[in-house]
Amino acid sequence: MYYSLLSACTCLCLHFLLLCIQVQMFVADDVNVDFRIHVENQTRARDDVSRKQLRLYQLYSRTSGKHIQVLGRRISAKGEDGDKYAQLLVETDTFGSQVRIKGKETDFYLCMNRKGKLVGKPDGTSKECVFIEKVLENNYTALMSAKYSGWYVGFTKKGRPRKGPKTRENQQDVHFMKRYPKGQVELQKPFKYTTVTKRTKKIRPTNPS
């Protein structure tokens, strides 16, 4: 009788322990899903508080073998390395990977209209001028429209723009490589920290001659 009661108690404890483990797994899954959704929402949210990061580089097209050009209202991927119209000012728009891309020479923004056509606009405040940078497994970068999900910036072998609805992430037409123009370095230099010691505190700046 004693051993039967002990065995029954042991089985009951094991069932209770398994139930606790299952509950913890369900809770952990819910937390992970909620956290992932939170991160995605924060990535897409506008960041109007932090200082915008501004970078200067070129976007080399994998298909045309040339660089994206912002020629006013016209967009192409026929720019040579160092071409003034291929130099792009890229501004981060959120905490995550949303960017606005402007031609340094023309001050026109790279945008995608509701028909999926790539156009240049003098005013980049519209969401049509915001793109989501996606770093792919092959280390190329793809630019997806923030307004029209699934539509990408893409070009043919001749450097002509592809319409958004005809693009896919796995197409070479939408793959780009970031390159600095010849003879130029990154526009925004990293902040350098200076270690303060007793000796550096005694040093005073000298007046310019």
pLDDT value of position 163: 97
The domain locations on the chain are 54-179
pLDDT value of position 127: 95
Calpha distance 98→101 (Å, rounded): 10
Q: What percent of the chain has pLDDT over 90?
A: 56
Calpha distance 190→55 (Å, rounded): 11
Three-class SS state of 83: coil
Condensed to tens digits (0 to 9), the pLDDT of residues 21-49 reads 665 665 445 544 555 554 445 444 454 54
Mean pLDDT of 61-68: 97
What is the pTM (predicted TM-score) of this model? 0.66
Q: Considering the domain 54-179 in this protein, what is its CATH number?
A: 2.80.10.50
Residues facing 102 on adjacent strands: 89, 109
